[in-house]
Amino acid sequence: MDDTAATLATELDGLLAMARELEVRLEGDQGAPGTARELCAALAASVDRAMRLAGSSPRGGGDGEGNATGRASVSGRKAAAGKVRRQVRVASVTDAGPLNDGLSWRKYGQKDILGAPYPRAYFRCTHRHTQGCQATKQVQRAAADPLLFDVVYHGTHTCACAQAAAHQQSPASFGQEQQSPPAAAPEEIQWPATPPSFPSPPAGNVGDCYPSVCELDGGYGYGYAAGGGLGADMWFGSQLDEWFLNLSEVKNL
DNA sequence: GACATTTGACCCCC
DNA sequence: GGGGGTCAAATGTC
């Protein structure tokens, strides 16, 4: 079970980094509620303890990419297309769909994945042809929880809309090495209003969902709301929800 | 009419 | 040969 321990430690490591980053940010944010700070401190401490229990931090060791998507080894074709690859897990509050990361994605394919109960959807940047933006992403419902979506980003956005989106939502936020998805913006992945293949029923308005994201492979996370106007409290709320969601999932490993 | 989605087929890698 | 990723024609929506 080394893999399990390594995955657990990796995930917890990421959570810890996020908690500490959030703590730091709260430090400079006088408007932040004290309870949120306390929660963050408690969260960090809790994660730290969990990491000790998990064994060690695999930093620098494995690829730390997690295996939730059952991601097959990315073929040479794919590796050549996108050098940057990031995996995030998105929790959608409603069943409507996964996310809105502020970028323009166009769905170009969907496949049933062997052993996965849900198909995987393939998206690429809308501006692929007009601006040569090579960013792509894959979205798949988590087998364990249909409200969770595993999202794998490939490549980086080089289109103008990505830069605009990055501007809207202080990009200096979490991860220093963050490469692609800035957060927040009006519309974007419209999980098929009437999903032909995804078993879950449409929940009508995608704007109702405010997914939050935690990267599985290290130290970067972000949250956003489809409506765009997500206040700090709500952000913290959804972010913390997501952390605990991830933690409970990790516990089940 | 323009653009997005769907879906079967094709290509490539293991 | 099987599975995953992408292409492109058909179709739908605004």
Q: What is the DSSP string of A55-90?
A: ----TTSS----STT-PPPPPHHHHHH-S-EEEEEE
Provide CB contacts within 8 A for A192, sequence distance 6+: A97, A198, A202
Confidence of residue A56 (pLDDT cuts 50, 70, 90): very low
Which of A 58-77 have CB under 7 A of nucleic chain B? 73, 75-77
Q: Does the pLDDT value for residue A215 go beyond 50?
A: no
Average pLDDT score over chain A? 54
Q: Does residue A112 lie in a domain region?
A: yes
CB A178 within 8 A of CB A169: no
Q: Which residues touch strand C (CB under 7 A)?
A: A 70-72, 74-75, 77-78, 81, 108-109, 111-116, 120, 122, 124, 136, 138, 154
Of the candidates A147, A152, A146, A182, which has an alpha carbon nearest to the alpha carbon of residue A167?
A182
Are A88 and A150 members of one domain? yes
Looking at residue A179, what is its pLDDT? 40
Q: Does the pLDDT value for residue A243 go beyond 60?
A: no
Are A91 and A152 members of one domain? yes
Amino acid (one-letter) located at A82: G
Distance of CA A60 to the CA centre of its chain: 21
pLDDT in tens, A62-121: 333 333 333 333 333 444 344 456 666 665 544 444 455 667 888 999 998 888 888 899
Looking at A126, A159, A192, the residue that finishes a domain is A159
Looking at residue A19, what is its pLDDT? 57
Q: Does residue A244 lie in a domain region?
A: no
CB A124 within 8 A of CB A136: yes
A210 CA vs C8 C1’ separation (Å) = 34
What is the total residue count of chain A? Answer: 253
The SS3 of residue A93 is: coil
Question: How many structural domains is chain A composed of?
Answer: 2
Most confident of A39-48, A108-117, A164-173, A233-242: A108-117
Nucleotide nearest to A72 (CA to C1'): C4
A190 Cβ within 7 A of any nucleic strand B atom? yes
Q: Does residue A176 lie in a domain region?
A: no
Q: Taking residues A115-138, what's their average pLDDT?
A: 85
A108 Cβ within 7 A of any nucleic strand B atom? yes
CATH number at residue A89: 2.20.25.80
Looking at residue A43, what is its pLDDT? 58
Residue A101 sits in which domain range? 83-159
Are A92 and A152 members of one domain? yes
Looking at residue A240, what is its pLDDT? 39
A18 CA vs C6 C1’ separation (Å) = 35
Looking at residue A130, what is its pLDDT? 77
Q: Does the pLDDT value for residue A237 go beyond 70?
A: no
Higher pLDDT among residues A85 and A197, named by residue: A85
Looking at residue A110, what is its pLDDT? 92
Looking at residue A208, what is its pLDDT? 33
